[in-house]
Structures are given as structure tokens and as C-alpha cells.
Structure 1
């Protein structure tokens, strides 16, 4: 049995990204559920490397903290002074002196790079037993990018940075994508020969290719199957362009897997989201984080779900949910807000202008209108009427409210926690309930109504209300006279 090749990945993530004009390091800017660096690390997984080294520099501590969250096995190495990509790779290899075999070098700002492309690049390099292979792409506008300079036979002669390129070389449209594969020993030897004799006064990793060509070592070019994979982001405008490209890629993949996305241009789905076939995503919808949507569910329009699961056949319309669980065939919206810890049972309903937090609704339970339900358990088949408030917070602590199975809470009610409305119990509309209502009882706290005769004429003389009341009183008096005459 042949032994698996030894591989090391080096990710370059030390740059400041000045054109981002941000306190956040460039590689930590995000698009569709991952940072730029996070996307690159996922693509790097295709290398199946023994170790991954991430070169950090600007705001190094922030990058280290992020690595601890998303790639705890990665080794951060500090490049205190950003003295070029060659310098960065050299200090990365110094941190892992045992590294041998294949070394894959990736820029930390190419989020559209696919794992499949990384795997193909490595395979092409290793099968040809090259000393170095560069990923290239043909672009319409190569401005600002390094150029691939080929020899008369079409092989790689060298890579030249635009600042150091001649006028003729600047006309070349085949560019260096900043993604490389090297044989470790050849790379180490060439890194030791790098100079800073260039416009930037830095050690260019790309100069390694020219040095290898000079000594007759085999080098090559692997052309990316899709130029979009090689695109980076230097400012917010380019980041937005990448975000849109990734949105289209993600949406196309989901539609081809059986998901209906009614307006792909306005559906933004994180790469961390999962969808089942026959789910329907309507326009102006954002699905973020670990959200999951089951078959037959309809999400949107105008809906945002963050870390929220939606069961089969459920409907979520013009709603915002964070950390919620929406059960099968449940209905949410419009204009509802589900906060963390909200769990809706099968066929339950959260209606218009309802906010729920850390609460459970049993199967078929309903909160149809204009209510707040916090820290509550609502039993199966129960109905919570319009304008109900669960007063869960007393200014010091939060307490829980329980509404039992098949209970009915009338409109404009306040339930003051901790309190329990028993199974099958009723609460009269307009009540303020501070004591438990036992099963099958009716809870009522209304004061007796009293009508003060003639109040408007006395207290609001000359007003429109007084005039209307006078007309109505005269009409009523006239109707009484006619009735007596009959």
C-alpha cells in the first residue's frame, strides 16, 4: 500500500487591508456565514494536510481568536513586520521544521475558491512531480495583479508583479491567483535566495518560480476552471461583488437540489444553512447561521431567520426569528419576532405583531394577534387572545407562566408571572391575573362598569363630541316619543 503524501498548508493572513478602511482585519470580514479566512480554510481542507499554518500580523490577536473558534488545530505564526509573501512563507516553515512533501500556499482573501479546485491543483502538481505549480486565470482586466510570463514553448518562465512589470508584460491577461503548490525541499532552498531588489523592497514568493526555472527545476501552471474562484477583495465594493457572486452560486446549487427560490436576486442564504427539497424561499429572505428549513416549508417574503429551524410544511411570513424552533405545519407572521428559546409545536400559530421569547407552544396552540409571550409554556390547543401580555420580569428576576392545555385567555389580558392557568380554564378579557386559575375555572378581575350620565356635555361643552352626543340624544328622545305614540 502506498503511503499518503505528506502535506502542509500555509495561509497568508497577515495583511492590514488598508483599502477596507476598517478596524477589522481584512481576512475577518464576512460573507454569507463565514469570514474570508474561514472560506479559505474550508477550501484548504481538500489538501488533507498534516498541519495548517496561518501567518498572522495586523490585529494578530483578533485573527488568533477567530482561528481558535473555526480552526483550533491551525497553528498561528506571527509576521511582526510584513516584509513580503516570501518572508511570510519562510517564517511559516520555520515554525514547522518537520514539514516535508507538498506545501500548499493560499492567500487568506479568496473566499470563492472551491475545495475541488484545491484538490485538482494538488493532484496536477504531485502527478507531474513538479517543484512548484501556480494557479492562474485569464481575466478581462488584470490591473494590479501579478502576471504569468510564459516561455516560447508555453511553459512558465516567471511571475512578475505589476509594479515590476514592463509595458509589454502588463498587457498579459493571464494572472497569478496567489495560490501555489511547492515541493517542500525546493521551496526552502529557493526562499533562502530571495532578495528585496524590487519596487516594494519585499521578499516576493513569486520570485521562487524564477529561481527554480534558473536551476532547471520543473514548474508549471494550473489554470482555474472558473476565474471567479481567484477573485479577492481589497475594499468594501469588491467585497460586495464577491458576496453577490457567492449568493448566486449558493442559490443555484440549492435550486438544482430541489429547493424553490422565487427571487434568487433577493434571497441571501449563508453557506452554513441546510435546506430540504421542496422548501420554498420567497423574495427578500435572509437565512443565516445554522438555520435549517425542512421539506414543504414556505419562508418569506421579507423574512430573516438566524440559527432557526423550520419544520416540514410550516409557513413563516414577514417575520424575524433568532435561535427559534418552528415545528411542522406551524404558522408564523406577519410581522412577528421570535427570540431565542422559542419553540413552536406542530400546527401552532404565532400571528401578526406577536413577540415570543424563551417560550413553548404546544401542538395547535395559538397566539394570533398583538401579544408578548415571554418565559411561558402554552399547552396544546390553548388560545391566547389579542393584546395579551405575559409580564415575566419584575425588574429583578424573570419568572415563568404556564397556560394549560385547551385553556383560553381572553383579549387584553395581563398574566403576571409566576402564574398558572390550568387546563381547560378561561380568563375573561381585560383581566389582570396574578393568582393561579385552577383547571376548568374562569379567572376574572374586571371592575364593575359605571356610566356617568351627561359627562360629555358638562366636561367638554362646545366640542365635536358634545355636539355628536347631543344629536344622538335628540334622536333617541324622538324615537322614544314615536314609540309612545304608537
Structure 2
């Protein structure tokens, strides 16, 4: 089966310089969400109908097959301009829209199953809604679909119908090619409606049916920032429910934001006002306390994080972080490391058992096992032009307010006196101090 995804619209109601289909819902562009659901159903060949800012869409979506709809003259027109590419495949066609990110994999599987089992020429995904205003109405006779009437073309009686067209269809290849060539733009908007293909097929006794779903939220099209927020909320709660069903404990799901790609192990507890983004993986039995943000990071089992920011970092099991710590890209904390209040780590590896409790910056560094970093310690890694590395051996004690001017290598079991400025290498088991001699003078 082939997929055709309609994604040419400008989305003027979004009031944005970003193409509508690239606005993110729960951390992913809408168009990618739709594409992934289609691929999960087993359909891997896609033709995209692009138009407004297509170059931006192509940059995001990379190597895709597409046609350009220069003028948006309706959904039928979109299929017409894709006709040559469709004929290249000669396969049944699933048609969806790129701005419907809430479509479920299960729904498309059931739609495809019904299409194949009933040997249909076309199947339409429909839904009964509380307020059908703006949607095309499904017209039926004796339980069989005969037509789809757009809002502007509907009579007062037809406007009372609450079963609507979702804009998702599956067509038999030959039936779509036949019908699409017979549609016209003789309507109030002067557009070519794909829905007219349904009327053409049913009037000529082709086998057309609908598959009705009950979840109205699933067919929400995102055309404004308000609808974008609604879609975000729905997808966020779906993700949170999925995690809880798999053993994660969310204290308050409504105030917990976890994006689509995130993986979390069972019995991990997530407190309110936590944000977890990107390609993050969190192990089992962790405790993530309020006001923490984690992005594109790997967190091991039994880790505790409080009120901290973690970006593109790796944290191994049984580490403790925070409050108010900041792990920047390429921070690597090994087992049982403790990073505490107002400690910042960047492009540095802290080996097993390292402790840095307070007010410290460690950048471009390697710190050996069981070393203790005193409060106020800074690795001065940047000389104004280049970054330099600090290496500290295992079992060392770095006194409070030490300033380490890289490049510096310290051996194992090294001790630096509080307040020292370290500019030279230190051999194993040595005490180093570098500070001005204290002078006491009598007051006058």
C-alpha cells in the first residue's frame, strides 16, 4: 500500500513563519508524527504533497518523495498533481493530512483491515462529533455511504448530520485514478474536492463504505495555536498514561511533560512540574523531583535528581544530583557520583564515587574515583582562544575555592589547600598550595 500525505497548506490561522505541519506536538513536528504512525501500520512508501515553504519542510523531513502544489486548489487537485507518481506504484492508496497528529496506529490498522476484508474500492474514516460545523457530512442511504457534502455546499437538513469526514481514506488504485479524473471545481469555492470522488464511485455502483471511530479527539486538525495547545495536551496525556501502564509512577500527570521518544523504567517516580524531552532514557527505581528538566540524556537505575537541568549527559546508576545542578552536554557521571547545589559539569567525566557538593564548575575534565571536590572549585578551561583539559587522579581531595588553571594533570591521592591557584602538574600523593602568605596588621 502507498501513502499520500497532504501537507501543502499555508495555515494562515497559525499566524507563524513556521510551516503549519512542522509545528511540534509533544516534542515532534506534526508531519513526522503522522508519518511514523503510517510506517507503524506497515506502509513505508509515502508521497508528500508540499507547497508553502516546501524547502523548510524538505530540510526537516530529509529524503522524501514529493510533488509541489503551487496553488492550493483543493484536496482533489492535490491528488491530481500526484497522479503520475501514484501510477508509478499501482498500489492501493492511503490518503491522510499532515496536520492530524492525533491519529492512532490502531485506527489505521482497523481501517486497512476493513478495506481489505470487504474488498472495497474506497473506505472513508468517519467520526460522530458533538459539533460538526466546518466538517464534510457523511451522507448515507440504507446504511451505505453515498456522498460527502462540504459545509458550504450542505443544505440545512444535511448540516444536522453529526457523522463527519475525517479526511482519511483508502482507495483501490484503479478506482482512485478513474474517479479523480472525473471531478470538477463546480462549487462555491471553485476547488477540486477529493470528496467528489466518493459520489462518483457510489453513483456508478463501486463498493464504498465508511469506518466510524468514537474518539473525537483523534481527528482534531491543527489549524491554530489554540488547536496546537489542545493537541499537545491530548498527546501528552496519552504518553503519560502509556508510561503509567508500564509501571512508571507519575505523582501528577497533568503537570508532568514527557515527550514522545522518552523511555522510563518501572517504579521510577516523577514528581509534578518535571519536563523530560527528546531522546531521553531513564532507568528503574529513579526519583525525579519537581522543577527538573532532562533533555536527550541517559539516566541509569536508582538515580535521584532534584530541581536540576540535565542536557545531553550520561548518568550511571545510584548517582545523586541537585538541587540546582546543571549537567551540560558531554557530562558523564559514573556510579554513585554526587553532584550537589549549584554545581555545573560540562564535557567532563566524573568516575565512580566522585563528590562535588557545592558551588563548583568542572569543565573539560577527567576526575578519578572517590575524589572529593570542595566548594567553590573552578577548572579554568578556556584561555580566550582554546579549551584545555584538567585531569585529577583517584582518591584526591580538592580544597574549597581551588582554582585549577588548565592544562593541569594531578596524580592520585593529591591534596590541594583551600584557596589555592593551581597552575602546574601535581605528582601522586602530594600536597599542593598556591596562595599569598597571610599578613596580619594591627589596626590604627
User: Shorter-chain TM-score: which interval?
Assistant: over 0.9
For the 8 Å contact 1:42–1:115, the answer to whether it is kept is no
1:220 aligns with 2:209: yes
Counterpart of 2:190? 201
For the 8 Å contact 2:414–2:429, the answer to whether it is kept is yes
Counterpart of 2:84? 94
Paired residues, number: 444
Deviations 1:361-383 (A, max 9, x none): 01010111011110011111001
TM-score (norm 1): 0.90
Structure 1: 5+ residue stretches without partners: 1-6, 456-486
CA drift of 1:82 comes to 1.1
Counterpart of 2:53? 59
CA-based RMSD: 1.1
1:392 aligns with 2:420: no
1:296 aligns with 2:299: no
CA drift of 1:226 comes to 2.3
CA drift of 1:33 comes to 2.5
Report the 3-state secondary structure (helix = DSSP H, G, I; strand = E; otherwise coil) of the residue aligned with 1:97: helix
For the 8 Å contact 2:11–2:223, the answer to whether it is kept is yes
Deviations 1:278-313 (A, max 9, x none): 111111111111100100111121111110111100
Counterpart of 2:74? 84
Counterpart of 1:445? 434
Report the 3-state secondary structure (helix = DSSP H, G, I; strand = E; otherwise coil) of the residue aligned with 1:375: strand
Counterpart of 1:484? none
CA drift of 1:49 comes to 3.1
Separation in 2, partners of 1:84, 1:270:
33
1:13 aligns with 2:7: yes
CA drift of 1:47 comes to 4.2
1:140 aligns with 2:134: no
For the 8 Å contact 1:9–1:47, the answer to whether it is kept is no
For the 8 Å contact 1:391–1:417, the answer to whether it is kept is yes
Q: Decide which of 432, 456, 469 is 2:421's aligned counterpart.
A: 432
Alignment of 1:175-214 (within 5 A): 175-214=164-203
Q: Decide which of 273, 281, 298 is 2:270's aligned counterpart.
A: 281
Separation in 2, partners of 1:434, 1:166:
85
CA drift of 1:50 comes to 5.6
Separation in 2, partners of 1:401, 1:50:
49
1:125 aligns with 2:119: no
Name the larger-Rg structure: 1
CA drift of 1:150 comes to 1.4
Counterpart of 1:41? 35
Counterpart of 2:17? 23
Alignment of 1:266-277 (within 5 A): 266-277=255-266
Which moves more between the two structures, 48-57 or 353-362? 48-57
Alignment of 1:393-432 (within 5 A): 393-432=382-421
For the 8 Å contact 1:45–1:115, the answer to whether it is kept is no
Q: Rate the CA distance shift 1:371–1:86 in 2: closer, same or farther, 3 A.
A: same
After superposing on structure 2, the runs of 4+ consecutive aligned residues of structure 1 that deviate more than 6 Å are none
Counterpart of 2:303? 314
Deviations 1:451-472 (A, max 9, x none): 23225xxxxxxxxxxxxxxxxx
For the 8 Å contact 1:99–1:184, the answer to whether it is kept is no
Separation in 1, partners of 2:216, 2:37:
16
Alignment of 1:309-348 (within 5 A): 309-348=298-337
Counterpart of 2:244? 255
Alignment of 1:225-240 (within 5 A): 225-240=214-229
Deviations 1:150-170 (A, max 9, x none): 12x121121111121111211
Report the 3-state secondary structure (helix = DSSP H, G, I; strand = E; otherwise coil) of the residue aligned with 2:87: coil
Separation in 2, partners of 1:128, 1:99:
22
Counterpart of 2:158? 169
Structure 2: 5+ residue stretches without partners: none
CA drift of 1:225 comes to 4.5
Deviations 1:18-68 (A, max 9, x none): 100000011000012211101100111144236210111000011111111
Alignment of 1:99-110 (within 5 A): 99-110=89-100
